[in-house]
Amino acid sequence: MKRLLCALLLGGGLIQAQTSPPLTFYIHDTSGGTPDKLLDPSYAFANTSQGSSTPLVIRAVNSSTSPVYWVQAFVSNTANSTVANANFSVTGQVIDQVLAPSGSILFTVNFAPVVAGAAIGYLQATYQIQQPVGCSFTSGAKPCQSGTVSVSTLTGTATNPQLILSYRNSSGGAITLQPASSTPFDFGNVSTSSSVTITFILANQTANAIPTPTIKLQTTQFFSSAFRLDTSSLPTSIIGNSFATFTVTFAPGQLGVTDPSTALLVGALIYPMKGTGIIVSDVDALQISYTDMTPGSPSFGVRTNPQAATAIQFDQLVVGGATSSIFNFLVTNPTTSYSAVAVSPLGVSGAGFGMSGAPAGPISIAPGATIGFTLTFAAAATGSYTGSLSIGTRRFALEGLTVISPFPAVSFQLSAQPLTSQQQATLTVQLASPSAFAGTGTLTMTFVPSVNGVSNDTAVAFLATNSRQLNVDFPVGAQTASYKGQSAIAFQTGTTAGTLTFKLDVVNTPSYSQDFAISPATIHLTSATAVRQNPNLVVTVNGYDNTYSAGQLSFTFYDLSGKLISPVTVNAATSFQQYFSTNNQAGGAFALQASFPVQGDVTQVGSVAISLTNSQGQTNSTPTFQ
Amino acid sequence: MKSQLGLFLLAAVLPAQVSAPRVGFARFAGGSVHAVSGLPANFLVADLPVARADRLSFSDSGGLLARNGEIDLVDANAQPVASFASGEAAPLLNVDGALTTAIAWLPSSHSILHWDGKAFALTQTTFDGEITALQWIEPEKARLLVLEDNASVSAVIVSLKTGQVIDSQTVPGMKGRVFAQHSFLVATNSKTLVIESANGQSRVLPLAAPDITTERMSSDWLHIFSASSGEHWALHLTQTDLHLSRMPPAREAAQ
Question: Alpha-carbon distance A496 to B38, whole Å?
Answer: 13
Of A492, A591, A601, the CB nearest to B7: A601
- Inform me whether the pLDDT recorded for A4 exceeds 50: no
Instruction: Give the span between the Cα atoms of B132 and B178, in whole angstroms.
Output: 6
Residue A19 — pLDDT band, cuts 50, 70, 90?
low
Angle of CA points A215, A119, A176, to nearest 5°: 40
- Among the residue ranges A211-215, A264-268, B75-79, B206-210, the one predicted with the least confidence is B206-210
**Contact residues, chain A, for B14 at CB < 8 Å:** 595
Q: What is the pLDDT of residues A519-532, one digit of tens each?
A: 999 999 999 999 99
pLDDT at A183 over 90: no
- Range with lowest mean pLDDT among A98-112, A132-146, A514-528, B227-241: A132-146
Q: Which residues of A touch B41 (CB under 8 A)?
A: 422-424, 492
Contact B17 A459 (CB under 8 A): no
What is the pLDDT, as a whole number, of residue A601? 84
Question: How far, in Å, CA of A444 to CA of A462, rounded?
Answer: 9
> Is B44 in the A-facing interface, judged by CB distances under 8 Å?
yes
pLDDT score for B24:
97
| Model confidence at A474: pLDDT above 70 | yes
Q: Quick check: B57 and B74 in contact, CB under 8 A?
A: no
| B43: chain A residues, CB-CB within 8 Å | 459, 492
Of the pLDDT bands very low, low, confident and very high (cuts 50, 70, 90), residue B9 is low
- Of A166-180, A337-351, A498-512, B191-205, the range with the lowest mean pLDDT is A166-180
How does DSSP classify residue B253?
H
B18 touching A, CB under 8 A?
A: yes
Average pLDDT on A366-382 reads 94
Mean pLDDT of A200-211: 93
Read off the pLDDT of each residue in A36-52 and give the average, rounded to a whole number. 91
Reported confidence tier of residue B10, pLDDT bands at 50, 70, 90 = low
Name the residue among A124, A110, A130 with its Cα closest to residue A152. A124
Measured distance CA(B85)–CA(B108) in Å, rounded: 14
Pairwise CA distance, residues A247 & A260, whole Å = 20
Q: How far apart are CA A89 and CA A111, in angstroms?
A: 7
Cβ–Cβ under 8 Å, residues A68 and A23: yes
Instruction: Pick A180 or A558 by higher pLDDT.
Output: A558
- Residue A14 above 90 pLDDT? no
pLDDT tens digit sequence for A221-236: 667 899 999 999 999 9
Is some CB atom of chain A closer than 8 A to the CB atom of B40?
yes
pLDDT > 90? residue A92: no
Question: What is the CA A343 to chain-centroid distance, rounded?
Answer: 39
A133: which chain B residues are within 8 Å (Cβ-Cβ)? 30-31
The interface predicted TM-score of the complex, written ipTM, equals 0.89
Contacts of A597 in chain B (CB under 8 A): 9-10, 13
- pLDDT tops 60 at residue A5: no
Give mean pLDDT, residues B158-165: 94
Which chain A residue has its CA at the smallest distance from B229's CA? Answer: A484
Rg (CA), chain B: 19
Sign of the C-alpha dihedral computed for residues A98, A102, A106 and A110 taken in this order: positive
CB contact under 8 A, A568 and B11: yes
Q: Is the pLDDT of residue A15 over 50?
A: no
Confidence of residue B4 (pLDDT cuts 50, 70, 90): very low
First vs last Cα of chain B: how many Å apart? 62
Reduce the DSSP state of residue A105 to 3 states and report it. strand
Instruction: Tell me which of A9-18, A145-154, A464-473 is least confident.
Output: A9-18
What does the pLDDT average to over A18-30? Answer: 85
Contacting residues for A128 by C-beta, under 8 A, at least 6 apart: A7, A11, A68, A69, A71, A137, A143, A144, A145, A146, A147
Give the confidence band of A297 by pLDDT, cuts at 50, 70, 90. Answer: confident
Q: Is the pLDDT of residue A479 over 50?
A: yes
Q: To the nearest whole percent, how much of chain B has pLDDT over 70?
A: 93
Query: Are residues B20 and A589, on separate chains, in Cβ contact within 8 Å?
Result: yes
> Can you name the residues that pair with B153 across neighbouring β-strands?
B147, B171
Q: Measured between CA atoms, how close is A562 to chain B, in angstroms?
A: 11
- Give me the pLDDT at residue A363, please: 92
B113-134 per-position pLDDT tens digit: 999 999 999 999 988 789 999 9
In chain A, what residues touch B225 (CB-CB under 8 Å)? none
Instruction: Give me the total of CB pairs closer than 8 Å, taking one residue from chain A and one from chain B.
Output: 163
B21 within 8 A of B60, measured Cβ to Cβ: no
HSE of A337, CA atoms in CB hemisphere, 13 A: 23
pLDDT, tens only, A146-164: 999 999 999 999 988 888 8
Q: Element (H or E) spanning A203, and its range?
A: strand A196-204
